[in-house]
Amino acid sequence: MTKKEMYEKRTEELLMPIIKENNFDLWDVEYVREGSNWYLRAYIDKEGGFTVNDCELVSRRLSDLLDKEDFIEDSYILEVSSPGLGRQLKKDRDFEKSIGKDVDVKLFTPVSGSKELTGSLKSFDKTSVVITFEDGIEQSIERKNISVIKLALDF
3-state secondary structure the chain: CCHHHHHHHHHHHHHHHHHHHCCCEEEEEEEEEECCEEEEEEEEECCCCCCHHHHHHHHHHHHHHHHHHCCCCCCEEEEEECCCCCCECCCHHHHHHCCCCEEEEEEEEEECCEEEEEEEEEEECCCEEEEECCCCCEEEEEHHHEEEEEECCCC
* pLDDT value for 12: 96
Whether residue 103 contacts residue 118, with contact meaning beta carbons closer than 8 Å, is answered with yes
Whether 106 and 61 share a structural domain: no
Which CATH number covers residue 34?
3.30.300.70
pLDDT tens figures, 91-127: 888 899 899 999 999 999 998 888 999 999 999 999 9
Tell me, rounded to whole angstroms, the distance of Cα 146 from its chain centroid: 15
Whether 105 and 138 share a structural domain: yes
Whether 9 and 44 share a structural domain: yes
Predicted confidence (pLDDT) at residue 134 exceeds the cutoff of 80: yes
| Enclosing domain of residue 128 | 92-151
Whether residue 129 contacts residue 123, with contact meaning beta carbons closer than 8 Å, is answered with yes
* pLDDT value for 85: 74
Whether 116 and 49 share a structural domain: no
Which CATH number covers residue 135?
2.30.30.100
* pLDDT value for 155: 58
Whether residue 66 contacts residue 132, with contact meaning beta carbons closer than 8 Å, is answered with no
> Total structural domains in the chain?
2
Count the Cβ atoms, other than its own, within 10 Å of residue 43.
20
Whether 33 and 62 share a structural domain: yes
Determine the average pLDDT of the residues in 49-63. 93
Whether residue 46 contacts residue 24, with contact meaning beta carbons closer than 8 Å, is answered with yes
Does 7 reside within a domain? yes
Distance CA 98, CA 110 (A): 23
Beta partners for residue 46, in sequence order: none
Whether 77 and 96 share a structural domain: no
* pLDDT value for 9: 96
